[in-house]
Chains A and B, each alone.
Chain A
Amino acid sequence: MNETEQLIHDAAHRLFSQHVTPELLLKAEKGEWSEALWNAVEEAGFLDTLADTDTPLAERTANTFALLRAAARHLVPIPLGETIVARALLAARKVRSPDGPLSFGILEGHTHQHGDHAHLKGKALRVPYARNATGVLLGTLDGKECVLVATRRGRLAENTNIAGEPRDDLAFADTAGTTVPGINGRDLELAGATLRSISMAGALERILMQTVDYARTRVQFGKPIASFQAIQQQLAVLAGHAAASAMAAEVAMAAFGNADRRDLDVAAAKIRTGEAVGASTSVAHQVHGAIGITREHSLHFATRRLWSWRAEFGAETEWAGRLGRTMAKSGGAGFWPALTK
């Protein structure tokens, strides 16, 4: 981390440590909007970390990774990544961002463009925090341009993922919105997969730290269970998954806005972090024993989110199928050049 990234890292952890308590996470899971946390994040100036076009893109992506990795370790229950990405995409196309939380999703349906204006019809399923967002960026996967629409113009059905995070369905009969030129549903899908990869990487680091702490303090047979090789070897496996996931996620974030790199980097990140979830949560729960599967213990805040996030914005198999088909086109001799390009 350079100096700016370190400053962002420190400021983010300070803010999140103060706000994101287990009590806040429990309230959020019951559907309560974390207003004070949102206001603090907004005041800290975090929302334009990726949007500020005066800063070179490479610096912005590095800063954003530092911020979102911290947010992921704390499991912040607000659409921070979604808003940051939406504001950046809008700023790049010189479309004014609405104030407040934003989100984005894939539209199943169609859009009709009329100059700056567009009409959309169809539904967008499992849109993160749609109920709290003032605006949502929606795009179809057929390459047509995205539309920014005020959330209140759609019909909203509340839903959640298994960790209680809002994942709402939106339906549009024939709704007017603003065309966002040069961005389509695929861009949103890539951005969503990048965000979930970073979230998974941060949450994996969290369960590694938490499980190491637990193993060092839990005493059985007269000594901390950390002293048993069976435990040590399992935690080493978890560390490997955490390290590979964080690296893959950082590479994906660095590829934001880079058309040459992003297809490979984002797919690889979503696959690698998603693959880490099963083995890693298994180790974390196994080492924690029965206490780790109680509601009162905080381990589940991370593990339940991980089980949801690996399926959001494309599961490993979807991304792997797509990446595999691309790589296969290069043939055996072309595989390595394609991987290193």
Chain B
Amino acid sequence: MCAIVAHMNLAQPLPFRFDLATLPPEAEAMRAELRAFLAQEIAAIPFEKRARSWSGFNPDFSRKLGERGWLGMTWPKKYGGHERTALERYVVVEELLAAGAPVAAHWVADRQSGPLLLKFGTEAQRQRVLPGIARGETYFAIGMSEPDSGSDLASVRTRATRTAEGWRVNGTKLWSSWAHKAQYMIAVFRTGDNTDQRQMGLSQFLVDLSAPGINIRPIADLTGHEHFNEVVFDNALLPEDALIGAEGQGWAQVTAELAYERSGPERFLSSMALVQQIVEAAGPDPSERVAIAIGRIAARLHALRRLSLSVATQLQRGENPALEASLVKDVGAIFEQEIPDIAHDLFAREPSAASDEGLQRVQHYLTQTAPSFSLRGGTREILRGIIARGLGLR
């Protein structure tokens, strides 16, 4: 039986690859400017609001980022972009998240909608929306899930039918964050016939959410906070040129969009506000038990950050690190989801919105929202399924 190991090819590369990546000096150099800006802009925001981070909607703040050139950073200048590198953008994004800046308004647009349009959109679509995104004025919602389609995205039923006037759309999109405040949505609709191959016959559309026949109803989450929505298309009419990319190529395009959605540092920095409160509550001379917990948090965060940076470097090179992004998101979600439990375990304080202590107020928010971290952007089970496929198990 020992022969088993003799046949094992230990030289074979693993299916995932994380090369050691270091931020170039021009990217590192951006930190000082960002921290100075954030110190001024964030100081007045209470800790529990900072905890919302990329769920904190603030158009004024988004516009300020646009003025500074921190949105659409990697895009061509002709679309209002700044032609910076993905690694410079990485520094901006992680500094904003670590500080708990309210970035929700522009987040989806800057992270995935803009890049998707750059890749698959028409020239007219790009010119219409990209400059506004880069100014921090144009916001996007995601139109993927439906009442009967969650993890099983290929089962979407909302249908767009080509007519003489344009595309007639009927159906419902669900969990579309900020659709009630955004101007646009990129949605995936069924355009082809139902076939055995469910991934066929899907197409992506640039949807102007002010179009007649679109009804948007906010849904309160368990904290009472309204960010996601039900978006009902009741015979809504979209213009002919609302189609993004090729008809019937929606599945491939949406997969590319998900790579942008899953690869960023927001997938492990969601609980940073509470990490900071834990360190603050620990004081400069913590007990051994508290020190150990902080050391473990720092170690896990450090490794995640370096993994994420490696993914960003692959994206910069034009590669498609979908498997690597899924790994970082899965490991990252475990980490950020555990932070409220660690805070509870260390200090045994009651989460409380009314407390004088930042710790309790941030606990109040993050304890309740942490379950979403392994749901949004692809559930834990779906990500692990992607990883398993990468490993050759399915």
Q: Which residues of A contact B (CB under 8 A)?
A: 1, 9-10, 13-14, 16-17, 21-23, 26, 62, 70, 73-74, 205-206, 208-210, 212-213, 215-216, 226-227, 229, 231-233, 235-237, 239-248, 250-251, 254, 264-265, 267-269, 271-272, 275, 291, 294, 296-298, 301, 316-317, 319-325, 327-333, 335-337, 339-340
Closest Cβ–Cβ distance, residue A335 to chain B (whole Å): 5
- Is A291 within 8 A of B1, CB to CB? yes
| A321-B307 contact in complex given A233-B384, A335-B275, C-beta closer than 8 Å | no
Of the listed stretches B129-137, B229-237, B282-290, chain A binds B282-290
Chain A residues, Cβ within 8 Å of B3? 22
- Is B299 within 8 A of A243, CB to CB? no
B214-251 residues with Cβ-Cβ distance < 8 A to A are none
B164 at the interface (CB under 8 A from A): no
Chain B residues, Cβ within 8 Å of A10? 11
B280 at the interface (CB under 8 A from A): yes
Q: How many A-B residue pairs have CB under 8 A?
A: 222
B276-321 residues with Cβ-Cβ distance < 8 A to A are 276-286, 288, 290-296, 298-307, 310
Chain A residues, Cβ within 8 Å of B322? none
- Is A324 within 8 A of B5, CB to CB? no
Binary contact readout B323-343 vs A (1 if CB under 8 angstroms, 0 otherwise): 010010011001000000000
| A231-B306 contact in complex given A10-B11, A328-B291, C-beta closer than 8 Å | no
Closest Cβ–Cβ distance, residue B109 to chain A (whole Å): 25
Chain B residues, Cβ within 8 Å of A325? 285-286, 291, 295
B36 at the interface (CB under 8 A from A): no
28 A–B contacts from the bound complex (CB under 8 Å): A16-B10, A22-B3, A74-B10, A209-B12, A210-B8, A226-B393, A235-B391, A235-B393, A236-B387, A236-B388, A240-B334, A243-B324, A243-B327, A246-B18, A248-B299, A264-B298, A271-B295, A272-B302, A296-B2, A297-B4, A320-B296, A323-B298, A328-B291, A330-B279, A332-B278, A336-B98, A336-B276, A339-B298
Chain A residues, Cβ within 8 Å of B280? 331-333
The number of residues on chain B lying at the interface, defined by a beta carbon within 8 Å of a beta carbon of chain A, is 68
User: Within the assembled complex, what's the spacing in Å between the Cα atoms of A236 and B334?
Assistant: 13
- Is A243 within 8 A of B8, CB to CB? no
Chain A residues, Cβ within 8 Å of B288? 321
User: Which residue in chain B gives the minimum CB-CB distance to A1?
Assistant: B19
Closest Cβ–Cβ distance, residue A11 to chain B (whole Å): 11
User: Within the assembled complex, what's the spacing in Å between the Cα atoms of A21 and B280?
Assistant: 52
Chain A residues, Cβ within 8 Å of B300? 244, 271-272, 275
Chain A residues, Cβ within 8 Å of B388? 232-233, 235-236
Chain B residues, Cβ within 8 Å of A244? 300, 303-304, 307, 331
| A232-B385 contact in complex given A247-B310, A296-B1, A328-B286, C-beta closer than 8 Å | yes
- Is B291 within 8 A of A321, CB to CB? yes
B73 at the interface (CB under 8 A from A): no
* List of 7 A-B pairs having minimum Cβ-Cβ separation, nearest first: A320-B295, A332-B280, A324-B295, A324-B291, A232-B388, A298-B5, A13-B11
- Is A320 within 8 A of B8, CB to CB? no
CB within 8 A of A298: which of B2, B94, B286, B302? Answer: B2
User: Within the assembled complex, what's the spacing in Å between the Cα atoms of A233 and B391?
Assistant: 11
User: Within the assembled complex, what's the spacing in Å between the Cα atoms of A325 and B293?
Assistant: 10
User: Within the assembled complex, what's the spacing in Å between the Cα atoms of A299 and B5?
Assistant: 8
- Is A335 within 8 A of B279, CB to CB? yes
User: Within the assembled complex, what's the spacing in Å between the Cα atoms of A206 and B1?
Assistant: 17
Chain A residues, Cβ within 8 Å of B354? none
| A328-B294 contact in complex given A298-B2, A298-B4, A339-B302, C-beta closer than 8 Å | yes
Interface of B is mostly: helix
- Is B302 within 8 A of A243, CB to CB? no
Most buried by B among A216, A244, A251: A244
B392 at the interface (CB under 8 A from A): yes
User: Which residue in chain A gives the minimum CB-CB distance to B10?
Assistant: A73
B20 at the interface (CB under 8 A from A): yes
| A231-B292 contact in complex given A17-B10, A210-B5, A336-B272, C-beta closer than 8 Å | no
User: Which residue in chain A gives the minimum CB-CB distance to B15?
Assistant: A239
Chain A residues, Cβ within 8 Å of B14? 205, 208-209, 242
Chain A residues, Cβ within 8 Å of B334? 240
Kindly list 4 other residue pairs between chains A and B, CB separation below 8 angstroms, not including A70-B11, A206-B10.
A227-B394, A251-B302, A320-B292, A331-B280
CB within 8 A of B327: which of A16, A21, A239, A291? Answer: A239
- Is B299 within 8 A of A268, CB to CB? yes
- Is A331 within 8 A of B304, CB to CB? no
- Is B6 within 8 A of A243, CB to CB? no
- Is A324 within 8 A of B307, CB to CB? no
CB within 8 A of B295: which of A70, A232, A267, A296? Answer: A267
CB within 8 A of B279: which of A17, A22, A205, A331? Answer: A331
B41 at the interface (CB under 8 A from A): no
- Is A243 within 8 A of B16, CB to CB? yes
Chain A residues, Cβ within 8 Å of B64? none
Closest Cβ–Cβ distance, residue A235 to chain B (whole Å): 6
CB within 8 A of A243: which of B18, B284, B394? Answer: B18
| A22-B5 contact in complex given A73-B10, A320-B296, C-beta closer than 8 Å | yes
CB within 8 A of B387: which of A216, A239, A251? Answer: A239
